[in-house]
Amino acid sequence: MKLVFATNNAHKLREVQQTVGEAFELVSLKECGITEDIPENEPTLEGNAFVKARYIYSRTGLNCFADDTGLEVEALGGEPGVRSARYATDGHDDEANKCLLLERMEGKENRAAQFRTAMALILDGKEYLFEGIVRGKILHEQRGEGGFGYDPLFAPEGWDCSFAEMSAEDKNSISHRGRAVRKLAEFLNK
**Residues binding ligand ITT (CB under 6 A):** 7-9, 12, 67-69, 71, 84-85, 92, 94, 97, 147-151, 163, 175, 177
Among the listed residues 87, 65, 106, 74, the one whose alpha carbon sits nearest the alpha carbon of residue 149: 87
> What is the β-pairing status of strands 64-73 and 25-27?
unpaired
Nearer residue to ligand ITT within complex by CB, 75 or 144: 144
Nearer residue to ligand ITT within complex by CB, 63 or 136: 136
Q: Quote the least distance from Cβ 89 to ligand ITT, whole Å.
A: 11
Q: Quote the least distance from Cβ 153 to ligand ITT, whole Å.
A: 9
Catalytic residue among 37, 67, 68, 151: 68
Q: Quote the least distance from Cβ 190 to ligand ITT, whole Å.
A: 26
Q: Is 68 a catalytic residue?
A: yes
Instruction: Spell 161-182 as b/e; 16+ CB within 10 A means b.
Output: ebbbbbeeebbbebbbbbbbbb
Nearer residue to ligand ITT within complex by CB, 107 or 167: 167
Nearer residue to ligand ITT within complex by CB, 109 or 118: 118
Q: Quote the least distance from Cβ 176 to ligand ITT, whole Å.
A: 7
The span from the CA of 170 to the CA of 167, in Å, is 5
User: Which 3-state string (H, E, C) describes 31-90?
Assistant: HHCCCCCCCCCCCCHHHHHHHHHHHHHHHHCCCEEEEEEEEEEHHHCCEEECCHHHCCCC
Which residues on adjacent β-strands are paired with residue 4? 27, 64
Q: Which residues are catalytic?
A: 68
